[in-house]
Amino acid sequence: MPEIQIMPSILAADMANLEADCRRALEAGADGLHIDIMDGHFVPNISMGPAVVEALSRRLDTHMSVHLMIVRPDLYADRFIDAGADTLLIHIESPCDIRKTLQRIRERGVRSGITVNPGTTASSVLDLMEAGLVDEVLCMTVQPGFGGQSFMADVLPKITEFRHTAPDIDISVDGGIDAETAPRTAAAGANILLAGTFLFRAADMRTAVDTMRKDCEKAWSARPA
Ligand code: DX5
Ligand code: ZN
């Protein structure tokens, strides 16, 4: 049975004090860290590379969810796994052999995830889910590339569609997740909440994590069958 998990997206952390800010998130009760990798081609922004994942995984004992927003995730999956990724999320929109890449991630003993942009239909990844190639489906709730954008509510029916198709899979949401939008996605069937700006800018991160978890657990268990 999927469980509610709260993972801060470190794109919104203080980059000049990254280790300390990540520790702050873990001490606030986060279930892991979400690390956004952007190459300036797949998305119009550049963020971090494998060296940052490696440095953080050397210092912190937590689950590292690595989100590859890059053109050729097939060429870099091994590098991020070697760096310490525990979950590796690739995009269905990336121009590479998606099946082979997911299989490779699995072979390396890492959780595999497929990510869909807001405009991409659920049907485009159903065959991968049916083939049992993914442990997690990440529904982008903004156009990928930048933190601090507004949540796109029209993605909610797609989350429900995924949940009906795969009741036991992990479904995550990423982009514009805050105290108000997180429970709406949990009610739709999401169980992993990825949130950057809201959690790192919260006056009290522990309260923000606790409240998000409680409200999502409530919405998740009250959701219609
Ligand atoms: C967007 C990234 C997100 C981003 C979320 O491309 O994948 O993980 O950090 O940021 P917020 O929570 O600020 O919308
Ligand atoms: Zn992300």
| Residue range 159-187, pLDDT digits in tens | 999 999 999 999 999 999 999 999 999 99
- For the annotated catalytic residues, the residue numbers are 36, 174
| Chain mean position to CA 40 | 19
pLDDT band at 225 (very low <50, low <70, confident <90, very high): confident
Question: 196 CB less than 6 Å from ligand 1?
Answer: yes
Q: Give the Cα-Cα-Cα angle 129, 67, 148 (nearest 5 degrees).
A: 120
Average pLDDT, integer, range 79-88: 98
Which residue type does 62 have?
T
SS3 content of the chain, % helix, strand, coil (to 5): 45, 20, 35
- Token pair in block for residue 127: 């065959």
Cα–Cα distance between 128 and 28 in angstroms, integer? 35
pLDDT value for 224: 82
Question: 187 CB less than 6 Å from ligand 1?
Answer: no
Question: 182 CB less than 6 Å from ligand 1?
Answer: no
- Could you tell me which CATH number the domain at 5-220 has? 3.20.20.70
Average pLDDT, integer, range 125-135: 97
How confident is the prediction for the chain on average, in pLDDT?
98
Ligand 1 centroid, distance to 102 Cα (angstroms): 23
Please compute, for residue 155, the number of CA atoms within 13 A of its CA located in the half-sphere on the CB side. Answer: 30
- Token pair in block for residue 97: 């052999």
Cβ atoms of residues 36 and 67 within 8 Å:
yes
Structural domain boundaries in the chain: 5-220
